[in-house]
Structure 1
Amino acid sequence: MKRTRRRGAVRLRTAVTAMCAAGLLVAGTPAQAATFWGPFAAPSPALGPQGSSTMHADAGSSDATALAGPGVRAVHTTIYPLAAACPTLLQGSDGMVVALCTTMAGRTPTVELIDPDMTGALGTASATLPLAKGGLLGGVYAYLDNANRLVVVDGQRRLLRIAHSRDAAGRWSLQVVSSVDLSGAVPAGDSVVGLVPDPSGAVWFATEHAVAGRVDPSGRAAAIPLGGGEMVENSISATPNGRIAVATTHALYELRSGVSGNPEVLWRKAYDRGPGRKPGQLSWGTGSTPVYFGPDSGADYVAIVDNAAGAAHLLIFRSGTGQLMCSQPVLTHGGPGSENAPIGLGRTVVVASTYGYPYPTLPQGAGPAVPPTAPFAGGMTRVDVGTSGCHTVWDNKVRSSAVPMLSAADGLIYTVNRIGPAAATAVDGFEFTAVNADTGAIAAHSPLPGTIVEDPLQTAPLITRDHRVLQGTLSGIVRIG
């Protein structure tokens, strides 16, 4: 036993030393940052930098990064108004930030190229490119490829790659450099919701009406229908060996590429979707983008949160077989429902409640909530997976108003806490909040300026390589750091 502990301590010190040498630990981070958070899955060769190339950080949607955030030090905040909601913020290897926003006027999906220093005039971007409008969730999910190009499907069912460049005069521009017509694979009246690349560079997608497809590097598209009457309302995830997870409003699927290159279902697992859409969720079913995580490969398991009445359960399945590892009750101190993807890294999963969250708009066909309304009580739960099942490590009452993001470098979970009565109002405030991932306690918090138009709308933050946070809001972006 002593020898095992000693070897573990040596490995831990080595990991911490490596993070310090890489500049991943910053002054002001708490002592618990020495906890080993990982491993991460192998980076996708088709994606941009690990931790900043998808809304949920990587191909497996871990909502975790190896980069350190601001830590517990005092932070400075700058509001960057764009008259648009900006749920997707991505940073390429060149340091430029590419945002996918939806304008307040007209709800047009728009690509914004932004200098992360935000040295330009407020309310402007380095370059802007509007896209053809589709469904509400069609202007949300995109990713950066290994050439820093934004990969997105527009409202005309075209798979686009959008590059950015700078001319001799220093002016930036955005250009569509590749377009693939998906109308042969995506039915008329349907729209692509989520997309992710596999290691070969093929692009997988899932549509609102539960069609799953794959576009190979030559541009050939093939698709298969999933369950009849099912819908997809969140993005999709991939493993380093090419498995793809898709959650519909009825079931979790894992897919793979068949011998011919066409998608095929590896397994399907139905979950408890409850009697209806819960208040604070956008659809009747899970609110999770599936997350891959695990202690060995970093993608041993795949997890979602169900929509069961009166409770919410974290469901963890083994990738490849679909074996149910555990069904663990979560959010027992807050609202029993989540529209957010969980954090998943190593043996740990963290779930945040959105139950009762006052979204300003809902997707078409969302249906009535059951019950019709509820207070936004909040709450976050950490669950760890062991050899004999799962157990809850902590359960707190943080009213997370953003998708929480774990920094493996500093051991903090970064989010935005909503301040005000449980029955949310238009005069509520917001605080940038760092949660101790070991204990669930708030390690630091700083008030954010502005009004309800700075509502982060349960969108994901971007932790940049200079240890700052960019958070999308209802009306633009807030820079924190």
Structure 2
Amino acid sequence: MSSAPHTRSRLRTVLATALTAAAISVAASAAPASATGSVFTPVPPHNPYAGPDGTATMHGDTGSSDTTPLAGPGSGTLTSKRVALASACPTVLVGSDGYPVVLCTPIFGQVPTVHLLDPDDGSSIAELALTKGSLLGGVYAYIDQEDRLVVIDGSRSLLRVGHHQDADGDWKLTIDRSLSLTSVIPEDDAVTGLSPDWRGRVWFATGNGLVGTADDRTGTVRALRLPDGEKVANSISTAPQGTLVTTTQATYLLTATADGTPRISWRQEYDRGSARKPGQLSWGSGSTPTFFGPGDGTDYVAIVDNADSRVKLQVYETATGRRICSTPVLLSGGAGSENSPIGAGRSVFVASTYGYPYPAVPADAGDSVPASADFKGGLTRVDVRADGTGCDLVWDNTLRSAAVPKLSLADGKLHTVLRDPLIPGTSGTSLLDPYRYAEIDPDTGKVTRSFQVGVGSLYDSLQMAGTAAPGGVYYQGTVTGVLRITTK
């Protein structure tokens, strides 16, 4: 790749053109987002303090819709490349300049490391090690409106990491701004999730149930402790109405006072079950809460509970917290999900992770009951009724998604990586399982195209989120690096 500044300008133009075309497509409500007629719009509004929708956060946007305005690989012959980074890489983000920024945890040392990738071939062209913290501290981050990675490291500092090209054309990652949060976060706690609000403040939630705001322009940090015993094991979501936080016992919508102090607008408990399930990282909901809805894309909130016998999709009204429905999901597969639901228009998609063989769980996760289980898979679509009186199951299957699926509003497909059993027809897992990239029709739940990306544990996508990038490139984090999936 040429490292000259005109390359960066070219990529910015390509991305801007792609996003403009996608925005026009999404805005045209008469244009279906799927091949067979369903309309999966609107999605949450763009946050002015985040990067491009679809690529700014692990879940696409600050509303955690897990949608993207970008298309996946085109109609040519699929191909993939494994970018070996000797790290688990759960977070692949792309700013307005088209450069992928990846947050990884190396296999050896486990010190969170930021990589800047060459958009032409996916190779790492710069890296920066951060201060080591908790397991989930190396997972959640976002891209801001200036293409900087925003992350909170193990020193409990809010960082903005920029990428810059020097006079020789070489790229460097630098900490452009830093703010310590030690005034409110105790030494024995760590940030799990963060997201910007519509005033430019950064909201954060810690593992031990502290929720706060930080303004690194003024140095102001404020916090609120949630009830004792409630932990936060997933990221958080923001929309103009406020900030969503799902703890191991309840979902909250929070707003802030004039000085940034969080306050609770509503709280809804859910069935957390009697214990952590195999294939989950905490005892409670595995959901980063999702804003979605047919009005402005934020009418409703969706999570999946952790009920013992049958998990349910819980949908609440954003304005009031009133429950819209409690609908059983994953009826054919495993009854548990560690993944954030996809939310678009009136539709929600839920993927099962029950029985997924995570190699490690957080130290305070507790034992799972049972100790292990087969990975049966499962993917469900539920629609909220047009009059808002409840929800209906649309389809349910046993696809074994090994990643957080993404819904493209440009090509009308669900994109994910499937983990096939070594012995067809079984539901066990092994170190020799094959993995394949798959495109799924959101109207039927059926696979329309797939391609094997590799065999064996080097290709394990470990329920991490994929990201559609400009130019028909799909990035998927794995336990050893990143897959770059495109067409010839």
Q: Please give the TM-score of this superposition, normalised by the length of structure 2.
A: 0.91
Are 1:293 and 1:346, in contact at CA under 8 Å, matched by a contact in 2? yes
1:74 aligns with 77
> How far 1:393 moved relative to its partner?
0.4
Q: Displacement of 1:18 after TM fit?
A: 6.3
The within-5 A match list for 1:326-337 is: 326-337=325-336
Q: Give deviations 1:252-278, integer Å, cap 9, x for gaps.
A: 011001243211011111110001000
One of 468, 472, 477 as aligned partner of 1:472: 477
Map of 1:118 onto structure 2: 121
Q: Which residue of 1 aligns with 2:222?
A: 222
**Is the aligned partner of 1:90 residue 2:89?**
no
- Asked if the contact 2:464/2:477 (under 8 Å) is kept, the reply is yes
| Counterpart Cα distance in 2 of 1:369 and 1:96 | 39
Question: Equivalents in 2 of 1:112, 1:276: separation in Å?
Answer: 37
1:232 maps to amino acid = V
Q: Which residue of 2 aligns with 1:5?
A: none
Of all paired residues, the percent bearing the same amino acid is 48
Alpha carbons of structure 1 residues 56 and 21: separation in structure 2 relative to 1, 3 Å? closer
- SS of the residue corresponding to residue 162 of structure 1 reads strand
Distance 1:385 1:325 in 2: 8
Aligned pairs for 1:145-184 (under 5 A) are 145-184=144-183
2:272 is matched with 273
Q: Deviations over 1:439-464 (max 9, x none)?
A: 11111111112421210000000101
CA distance in 1, matches of 2:375, 2:333: 8
CA, structure 1 residues 21+304, in 2 after alignment: closer, same or farther (shift >3 Å)?
Answer: closer
**Root-mean-square deviation (Å):** 1.8
For residue 309 of structure 2, what is the aligned residue in structure 1? 310
> 1:35 Cα shift?
3.6
Corresponding letter in the other structure for 2:397: N
1:49 aligned to which of 44, 49, 52: 52
Describe the shift of the 1:20–1:201 C-alpha distance in structure 2 as closer, same or farther (beyond 3 A): closer
* 8 Å CA contact retained: 1:138, 1:153: yes
Alpha-carbon distance in structure 2 between the residues aligned to 1:83 and 1:132: 18
- Are the equivalent residues in 2 in contact too, given 1:72–1:434 (CA < 8 A)? no
1:219, distance to aligned residue in structure 2 (A): 2.1
Once the two structures are TM-superposed, the CA of residue 187 in structure 1 deviates from its matched residue by: 1.3
Instruction: Give the whole-Å Cα distance in 2 for the aligned partners of 1:219 and 1:83.
Output: 36
Partner residue in 2 for 1:432: 437
Q: What secondary structure is seen at the aligned counterpart in 1 of 2:383?
A: strand
Gaps of 5+ in 1: 1-16
Change (3 A) 1:82 1:220: same
| Change beyond 3 A, Cα 1:249–1:49 | same
1:339-418 pair list within 5 angstroms: 339-386=338-385, 387=387, 388-418=389-419
What's the secondary structure of 1:117's corresponding residue? coil
1:82-135 CA deviation, whole Å, 9 max, x = no partner?
A: 000000000000110000000000111000010122265xxxx11100000000
Pair 23,372 (structure 1): closer, same or farther in 2 beyond 3 Å: closer
- Per-residue CA shift, 1:320-348, capped at 9, x if unaligned? 21000000000000000000000001100
* Cα displacement string for residues 187-216 of structure 1 (whole angstroms, at most 9, x for unaligned residues): 121000000000110000000000000013
Q: CA shift at 1:368, angstroms? A: 0.9
| AA partner of residue 144 (structure 1) | I
Q: Distance in 2 between matches of 1:65 and 1:322?
A: 27
1:460 alignment partner, SS class: strand
Q: CA deviation at 1:396?
A: 1.1
Match of 2:460 among 438, 455, 471: 455
Instruction: Figure out how many residues of one structure are paired with residues of the other and give that number.
Output: 456
**Which runs of 4 or more aligned residues in structure 1 lie more than 4 Å from their structure 2 counterparts after TM superposition?**
17-24
Q: Is the 8 A contact 1:71 1:434 kept in 2?
A: no
